[in-house]
Amino acid sequence: MTLQGARVLVVGGGSGIGYAVAEAAQAEGADIMIASTDPVRLAQAAERLGGAAWARLDLTDEAAVAAFFAGSGAFDHIVSTAGDWGKARRGPIADMDLADAQALFGVRFWGAVRLAKHGAAALPSGGSLTLTSGMSAFRPQKGSVMATAMAGSIAHLVCGLAVELAPVRVNGVFPGGVATEIFRNLPAEMRAAEEARFRSQAVPRIAEPAEVAQAYLYAMKCTYLTAQVLQVDGGSLVSG
């Protein structure tokens, strides 16, 4: 159970959790390719990774996803941390624009479906596809109906794909709060309020991307793991 010499595609690898996954996998000897929609960010991230391969990939465009895998060669593992929360993440359902609500599913759900549809053929028996969602699937808050629904849909997608694509393994990682670039760029007052919210959980702080990345490495390396959702939440679910 090693990543030494494995070829790993990380969609969303230009920043945040995806970059941390790419960096951690590379440190274990994997051959990394990162992909996203932002070529400038990808080029910068690839340079920080010592010249890793990168490719522009838009998961909302099925033809582009199909073309990418037609020319990409084989991978041992595919990870997707890509997501676009759009404009319908928060707010009362009575005030929600349903077109915005539908768009919320565009990358993280339908993008994952497109990735599985066209990427599975690039994976070997025992290889893995690891998707990403969030703990809002299990810990809904008032005003987060669509975020909860979208997050939860990934858990069922993981189960369905694990059966459909076997012997390729399919799993999901559901982080809680993570101090990505988006979090660090919040206004100071908002960031402080978020940090205070995490102090009540069993691990009383927000996670670092590198910590969450270890769950993805486990999903790749544990050859007996499939159809599982790994909750990396610092104990928030059991902390009231």
pLDDT at 87 over 70: no
Residue 98 neighbours by CB under 8 Å, 6+ apart: none
> Tell me: the pLDDT tens digits for 33-70?
999 999 999 999 999 999 999 999 999 999 999 999 99
Report DSSP letters for 15-26, one per residue: SHHHHHHHHHHH
Other CB atoms within 10 A of residue 167 CB? 10
Q: Read off the pLDDT of each residue in 97-107 and give the average, rounded to a whole number.
A: 87
Tokens at residue 32, please? 């990394």
pLDDT of residue 92: 87
Give dist(CA 15, CA 42) in Å, integer: 8
Q: Which residue has the higher pLDDT, 217 or 85?
A: 217
CATH architecture of 7-238: 3-Layer(aba) Sandwich (3.40)
**pTM (two decimals):** 0.95
Domain ranges of the chain: 7-238
Give dist(CA 203, CA 233) in Å, integer: 8
CB-CB contact of 151 with 137 (8 Å) = yes
Q: Read off the pLDDT of each residue in 87-105 and give the average, rounded to a whole number.
A: 81
- 31-36 vs 53-56, strand pairing mode: parallel
Question: Looking at 46-55, 109-118, 195-204, 205-214, which range is the least confident one?
Answer: 195-204
Give dist(CA 4, CA 27) in Å, integer: 9
> Tell me: the pLDDT tens digits for 169-203?
999 999 999 988 888 888 888 888 888 888 999 99
> Tell me: the pLDDT tens digits for 143-163?
889 889 999 999 999 999 999
Residue 237 neighbours by CB under 8 Å, 6+ apart: 135, 138, 139, 231
* pLDDT interval class at 226 (50, 70, 90): very high
Nearest to 232 by CA among 20, 66, 68: 20
Dihedral Cα 186, 190, 193, 195, nearest 10 deg: 0
pLDDT at 89 over 90: no
CB-CB contact of 108 with 84 (8 Å) = yes
In Å, the largest CA–CA distance within the chain is 52
